[in-house]
Amino acid sequence: MSSPAEERIVPEARVPRWDAHADVVVVGLGCAGASTAIEAARAGAETLVLERASGGGGTTGSSGGVLYCGGGTSVQKACGFDDSPDEMFAYLRASTGPAPDLEKLRIYCERSVEHFEWLRSLAIPFKASYWPHNFEPWTDDCLWYSGSEEAHPYRELARPAPRGHTVQAEGSCAGGPVLMHALEQALRTAGAEVATDVRVLSLVRAGDGGIVGVVGRHAGRDLHLRARRGVVLATGGFVANRGLVARHAPQALALEPLGGAGDDGSGIELGRAAGAECLNLSAMAYTCPVLVPFELIRGILVNRHGQRFVNEDVNHKRIGEELVLRQEGRMFLVVDAESFARPSFPGIELVASGESPGELEAELGLPPLSLAKTLELYNAHAAQGRDPLFGKRAAFLRPLASPPYGTFDCSVGSGAPVCVFTLGVLWTAPGGDVRRPDGAAIPGLFAAGRSTSCLSAQSCGSSGLQIGEGTFFGRLAGQAAARERA
């Protein structure tokens, strides 16, 4: 779907005529592009949003509409949860990879309450209610623990608070469309224009290296669109570009892509053709909601050696990351009669059962005695209400000692729900300026959303970060792009 490399940059001198002008041209109408456009238009910039599809929405439009916000939002307070920007910062710092961008992280946390109120001011509905589970609400409730805040080691590093804020809508995965509808309404009210069915093929570059416009294709015609102040790439990730995934993150090829067809990396390709540095192209976010309902957390997850490897009460994204990156894609859930429950997500099959660990080992092809020793150790500790290996919370600890035992296969390729999206991005400054390898900004070029670096750097362990950072840093990019050029 993307254009050949040699066409991605068009020198300004070769533009035959400008078909239209705007101060700010935004490429892509997901949550990041919409937020960018709202703020650019409100700052007084003539703003044009180009969307490849026939309507806005992007990947956000088919999501549940969860935003990771905190520091003491009105909903957190109404539900009786105490939070602060510092606690939020400490949690995110610990859970987003070995080297998150601390400057962006700090801004995001300090302004999260304000950002949440900004969203509410756009008439985006949030119910002042708490959802007491570690998975996206299937009701119209709002606030939940969408990360591993309550789990080891995070609970020792930051005071836990739920920060997943779900847009109010009836039913599962219904908040995203409501969110996008409100954002699109707001951008039109602010005076931004939207052109759909326009695929951006190229950036137009001036003699000084700055970006001054784009070439878009609409109904078979090339349109040359001048951007007086800036172009903002808000085109999403690249999980739908199988070639790029194969080249940079082959471990993800076997997994279900999480994202729309528009997530083909077109903006990332445009940015790097303009000289941008890319970061984390090999990094992926994994989702793996196998421990739903939550009774299943009382079971244990073991690898192909029969060993535990994670506290089962962490967020399912962290479990997915462990599974794919550290356990060769092989994982079994072992339960006893008391912890047995039927998994909520389809595809997770009961593959073994028996009166003793030995029977399971034989059925599963695990090394003899391996599961037995794992259970002896787990049970000895669980009887004391503790898990000194991985730190699972006492609430989920109970010896697994009530036969029959059962085992669900949660391995990659077993049918279990293991999905993936990309974390590889264009490098940007906090304000959204796209950076070259030496750190210098490319004049006139900005990025927002999943096509650029926000908080989930090498790792994404919490739900709601993508829309949270997409809308927040989209706003900053809109404000930056709307400024007159130096």
Q: Provide the binding-site residues for a copy of itself, judged by CB under 8 A.
A: 4-6, 97-99, 209, 246-248, 250-251, 269, 272-273, 275, 277-283, 305-308, 325-326, 367-370, 373-374, 376-377, 380-381, 388-390, 427, 436-438, 440, 458
CB of residue 14 vs a copy of itself: minimum separation in angstroms?
Answer: 13
- Which residue, 48 or 442, is less far from a copy of itself as judged by CB? 442
CB of residue 430 vs a copy of itself: minimum separation in angstroms?
Answer: 16
CB of residue 322 vs a copy of itself: minimum separation in angstroms?
Answer: 9
CB of residue 392 vs a copy of itself: minimum separation in angstroms?
Answer: 12
Q: What sign does the dihedral 411-329-451-103 (CA atoms) show?
A: positive
Please report the beta strands in 349-440, taking only residues with DSSP state E, as ranges in sequence order: 349-354, 405-409, 419-422, 425-426, 433-435
> Given its phi and psi angles, is residue 438 left (phi above 0), alpha (psi -120 to 50 degrees) or beta?
alpha
- Which residue, 100 or 230, is less far from a copy of itself as judged by CB? 100
| Closest to 30 (Cα-Cα) out of 227, 257, 249, 260 | 260
CB of residue 219 vs a copy of itself: minimum separation in angstroms?
Answer: 25
- Which residue, 277 or 433, is less far from a copy of itself as judged by CB? 277
Query: Which secondary-structure segment (H or E) carries 443?
Result: strand 441-447
- Which residue, 237 or 306, is less far from a copy of itself as judged by CB? 306
- Which residue, 44 or 367, is less far from a copy of itself as judged by CB? 367
- Which residue, 7 or 117, is less far from a copy of itself as judged by CB? 7
Cα 301 to its chain centre, rounded Å, is 24
Kindly report the number of other CB atoms within 10 A of residue 17's CB atom: 6
CB of residue 342 vs a copy of itself: minimum separation in angstroms?
Answer: 30
CB of residue 242 vs a copy of itself: minimum separation in angstroms?
Answer: 12
- Which residue, 112 or 370, is less far from a copy of itself as judged by CB? 370
Residue 124 and residue 117: Cα distance in Å, rounded?
10
What is the identity of the amino acid at 132?
P
Two tokens, residue 385: 């209400």
Do 341 and 416 meet the contact criterion of CB atoms below 8 Å apart?
Answer: no
| Closest to 213 (Cα-Cα) out of 480, 443, 4 | 443
- Which residue, 142 or 429, is less far from a copy of itself as judged by CB? 429
Is the link from the previous residue into 250 a cis peptide, with omega within 30 of 0? Answer: no
Can you state the angle between helices 102-110 and 465-482, rounded to 10 degrees? Answer: 90
CB of residue 83 vs a copy of itself: minimum separation in angstroms?
Answer: 28
Residue 113 and residue 108: Cα distance in Å, rounded?
9
Residue 192 and residue 37: Cα distance in Å, rounded?
6
